[in-house]
Structure 1
Amino acid sequence: MRLRFAALAATSVLGTGVATLAAGRYAADAALRPPRPRNDGGSRTTAGFEGTRLTVHSHDEGRIAVTRSLAARLPGVYGLTGRGTHAVVGQVLEEETAAQPRPYAVVRELRRIDRGRLSAGATVRLTPQVYVGNPGEALGAEYADVEIPGELGPLPAWFVPGDRNAWVITVHGLGATREHPLTLLPFYRRHSIPVLDIAYRGDAGAPPPLDGIGHLGNSEWRDLDAAIRYAVQHGAQRVILHGWSSGATMALHAAANSPLRDRVAGLVLDSPVLDWWRTVRALALSRGTPRALLPLVVRAVQGRAGLPEGRDAALVDPAKLTVPALLLHGPADTIAPWESSRALAAHRPKLISLHEIPHAPHAAMWNADPHGYEEKLRRFLTPFM
C-alpha cells in the first residue's frame, strides 16, 4: 500500500516518467532494506513467510487449532509468532472436515509456548525460527557474547564452545536474525562442535549498510570474512560455514574470495540465493510492489547493490568452489529458485552434495524435515570431526 501511494503521489507532482523512476527506486530500496526489529515482541518476518498469517481458534495441552490454509498444513516444525508471542508447533494432528464442528481449522501439535500467551482470535504467523533469545535463554547453553572487528565497525556474535578444532560459523539470511541458526545449535552441541553465530551489517547491534540497503551477500560477505579471521585468531584450525538464504550466498563468496579461504573446510548451504534477478522480483512482490514497476526495481537494485549485469548472471562463480558443500533446498521455495541450486550442483558434482527437501518454504529446509536434514548434516560433517 505504501509503495502504491508513493507512486501515485510522485505521479501527481513530477509527471509520469520521472514519477515511475522514483517509485521504482523507492520500491527497490523497500525490497532490500534490512527489516527493523519489531516493537511488539514478535519475530521479524522471514522472507517467504509474508503470506502465512493464521488465526488461533483454540488450544489446549499439546494441541492448537488454527485457520485452515496451505501454510497451516505445512509438514514439519515451525515457530508461531505474534504480538508479544512465540510458540512452536509440530506435525498436523488432524484436519477438520465439513462434517466436524470446525471445518475451517487445522489442528497441530503444540510443543511449547516460549513467550506470551495464545488467545482465541489472536493473529499469528509461521516462522522458521523455533527459538527466541540468546543461546542461554533459549537452550540453557553455555555461551559468550563476543565482538568481531568488522569492516564497518564491531559485529556482535554468540560463541558456543565445543571440543572440536573445527568451528562452525552460522550466517542467517533475508529477514531473519542470528536467532534463526539456533535451530541447529542442539545438533552442533550434541557433536561438541564450537559455533560462532554472527550478526552482520544491517542487523540490530551491527553497523548499518553504507547505502542503507542489503546487497544479497555481495558486500555482506566481508563481515563473514571478519568472522573467519576472528575464529582463526581464537583457536579454530578450520571453519565450516553454514548459511541460510543470502547467508549461504555469503558463504560461497567467502569460500571463493576470503584471504583465509584455505581455512574454510566445507560449506552447508540452505536455500542459497543464486538467481538475484528472480529473488529481487519475489522480494519486491512480497512487499507490495505493483508488477508494472518490477523491471525498474530490478534495474535499480542491480545498480545500487553492484550485482552482476544480465538476467542470467550468477552471483557467485561456481568454478571458484574448491571445498565440499552440502546443499539443502527444495522446489517449494518462492524466494530463491530451486533450479539454480540444481544447476550449481550439476556444475560441480564432485564437490556438491544436493539434498532435495519437498514442501519447504524459503530457508526452512530443517523445519520441513528435521530428522532428514540432521542426518545429511551428520554424514557431511563426519570427516571434519
Structure 2
Amino acid sequence: MIWAVVIVAVLVVAAIGIGALAVVLARRVVMPRPPKLTAIRDIDLESETITLDADRKTLHAGTFGLWAGDNGYALVGDIVRHDTSDDSITRKLLEVDGTGLSEATEGRWTGHVLRSPAVLHRNDREVLIPVDGGTAPAWLIEPDGTPTTTWAIHIHGVRTTRITALRTVPAADQLGMTSLVVSFRGDTEGPEVRNGASGLGTTEWPDVDAAIAYALEHGAERVFLFAWSMGASIALLLTERSPHREAIGGLVLVAPSTDWRTVIRYGAHKAHLPAFLAAAAAGALAGRLSSRIVGLVSPIDLDGRRPGLDPRLPPAGAGPGHPLRRRYRDPRGPQPKVRGRQSSPGHPR
C-alpha cells in the first residue's frame, strides 16, 4: 500500500513537472522575448570600422544591421579581421545613423538592413489601417511612374515589426507594384493584446485582411502577399478565410512557418528537449485552460484548419489561380525547411 502511494506521488510530481516545462516551452513560442544583444567593443569612425564580440552571427559574411536602442543604427559590411586571441571581430562600418550608437556598449545584430522606408528613395508615407480595437499603422510605398492597380502586402513574422518586412519591397518595386508594409495586433504597433502574446496567425490575419480592404479601396485590383515566417500562416489563412480572397493574385513566402507542431518540435530539438515535451507544449497552446496559463486570450487550434496548400485541406480560392513562391533562409536559421517544402505538393512553383 505504501509503495502504491509513493508511486502515485512520484507520477503526480512528474506530471506537474512536465506540465510546467510544457508551459515554459509554449510561452517561448508565443510570448515576446528581449532581443539577444551583441557586445560592441569599439567604434572607429576615422577608420570606418566596428569591433564586436565574435560569435556565429557576427562571423557570418555579408551585410548586416546593428541597432543600439531606438536611436542608433549601423550598417555593417565585410570582415576586416578576426582576432582569435581575444575572440573579437572587426568589420567595415558602412553607415551610421542616429546618436545612440556613439555611447552604446551592445546592440541588436540583424539581417534586416533597411532601417526605414526612406532608404528606398521612393514616395512613402504612413497610413493608418482601421482594425478591430484600434488602428494598425502601415507604410505605403509607391513605385516611380504611373499609379498601379497591383499592390503588394508585406507581412512580417512573429516577435518582429514591419521594419523586417521592408526587404521584399525592392522586389515588388521592380515589378511596378505599390507596397503596403503592415503591422498587426500584438506587434507593439497594432492594437495591444494580453501579455503581447502571438496567436500564430489565427488572431492576426483579420488585421492584414483590413489592409487588403484598404488597398482595394485605394485603387488596387489585385494584391500579392509577401510574407515572412509567421506571416506565411497569415497569408495562407487569408487565401482561405478572407472575403477579399478573390483579389489575391499570388503569394511569396519567405522562410514560411505554417506547421507549428513541427516548428515547436524543431525548437525543442535545438534545445535538446525530448519530443514528448514539444507535444505537451503544443497541447498547452491548444487547451482551453492550459492556454490561459500560458498567457493566451484564447486557445490556438493547431490541428483544426491548419493553414497550408496541402490538397487534403484545400483553402477556398487557393487553387492554381494563386501562384506560390517560397524562399528559404540559411538552414542555420530558426525555421525548419522540410515542412515548408511539404506544404504545397503539386502547387505551381
Listed as ranges, the gaps of 5+ residues in structure 2 are: 1-11, 292-298
Choose which of 20, 28, 31 in structure 1 pairs with 2:29.
31
Residue aligning to 2:235: 251
Kept after mapping to 1: 8 A contact 2:122/2:142: no
Cα separation, 2, equivalents of 1:203 and 1:82:
19
Deviates more, 1:290-299 or 1:62-71: 290-299
Cα separation, 1, equivalents of 2:253 and 2:17:
40
Identity of aligned residues (%): 26
| Count of aligned residue pairs for this structure pair | 315
Residue aligning to 1:146: 127
Choose which of 21, 34, 42 in structure 1 pairs with 2:19.
21
Structure-to-structure mapping, 1:365-376, within 5 angstroms: none
Note the C-alpha offset of 1:69. Answer: 2.1
Kept after mapping to 2: 8 A contact 1:248/1:273: yes
Cα separation, 1, equivalents of 2:265 and 2:38:
21
Cα separation, 1, equivalents of 2:120 and 2:13:
56
Note the C-alpha offset of 1:198. Answer: 0.8
Letter in 1 for 2:23: R
RMSD over aligned CA atoms reads 3.4
Kept after mapping to 1: 8 A contact 2:152/2:224: yes
Instruction: Work out whether 1:217 is the aligned partner of 2:204.
Output: no
Letter in 1 for 2:343: L
Higher relative contact order (CA 8 A, sep 6+): 1
Cα separation, 2, equivalents of 1:62 and 1:20:
51
Cα separation, 2, equivalents of 1:247 and 1:241:
9
Letter in 1 for 2:57: A
Residue aligning to 2:90: 107
Cα separation, 1, equivalents of 2:307 and 2:204:
13
Would the alpha carbon gap of residues 68 and 196 (structure 1) be closer, same or farther in structure 2, given more than 3 Å must change? same
Would the alpha carbon gap of residues 260 and 103 (structure 1) be closer, same or farther in structure 2, given more than 3 Å must change? same
> Larger Cα Rg: Structure 1 or Structure 2?
2
Instruction: Work out whether 1:235 is the aligned partner of 2:216.
Output: no
Letter in 2 for 1:296: A
Cα separation, 1, equivalents of 2:331 and 2:255:
11
Residue aligning to 2:109: 126
Note the C-alpha offset of 1:161. Answer: 2.4
Structure-to-structure mapping, 1:82-97, within 5 angstroms: 82-83=68-69, 84-96=71-83
Structure-to-structure mapping, 1:49-198, within 5 angstroms: 50=36, 53-60=38-45, 61-83=47-69, 84-96=71-83, 104-116=87-99, 118=101, 122-133=105-116, 135-136=117-118, 138-139=119-120, 141-162=122-143, 163-189=147-173, 191-198=175-182
Would the alpha carbon gap of residues 204 and 70 (structure 1) be closer, same or farther in structure 2, given more than 3 Å must change? closer
Kept after mapping to 1: 8 A contact 2:224/2:252: yes
Kept after mapping to 2: 8 A contact 1:57/1:121: no
Deviations, residues 323-355 of structure 1 (Å, cap 9, x unaligned): 11210004524432111122235x135x12xxx
Kept after mapping to 1: 8 A contact 2:268/2:277: no
Letter in 1 for 2:239: A
Instruction: Work out whether 1:299 is the aligned partner of 2:283.
Output: yes
Kept after mapping to 2: 8 A contact 1:278/1:336: no
- TM-score, length-scaled by structure 2: 0.76
Choose which of 290, 310, 313 in structure 2 pairs with 1:318.
310
Letter in 2 for 1:90: G
Residue aligning to 1:329: 328
Residue aligning to 2:191: 207
Cα separation, 2, equivalents of 1:113 and 1:282:
36
Residue aligned with 1:318, SS: coil
Cα separation, 2, equivalents of 1:334 and 1:281:
15
Deviations, residues 256-310 of structure 1 (Å, cap 9, x unaligned): 3322111111111001102312423566799x99879654322212334423349
Deviates more, 1:208-217 or 1:246-255: 208-217
Note the C-alpha offset of 1:200. Answer: 0.4
Deviations, residues 84-121 of structure 1 (Å, cap 9, x unaligned): 5321112334434x6xxx66333322211123354598
Residue aligning to 1:368: none
Kept after mapping to 2: 8 A contact 1:239/1:264: yes
Listed as ranges, the gaps of 5+ residues in structure 1 are: 1-13, 36-43, 353-385
Would the alpha carbon gap of residues 274 and 191 (structure 1) be closer, same or farther in structure 2, given more than 3 Å must change? closer
Cα separation, 1, equivalents of 2:272 and 2:282:
12
Residue aligned with 1:255, SS: helix
Cα separation, 2, equivalents of 1:227 and 1:121:
37
- TM-score, length-scaled by structure 1: 0.70
Letter in 2 for 1:241: L
Cα separation, 2, equivalents of 1:85 and 1:289:
36
Would the alpha carbon gap of residues 333 and 241 (structure 1) be closer, same or farther in structure 2, given more than 3 Å must change? farther
Cα separation, 2, equivalents of 1:156 and 1:299:
33
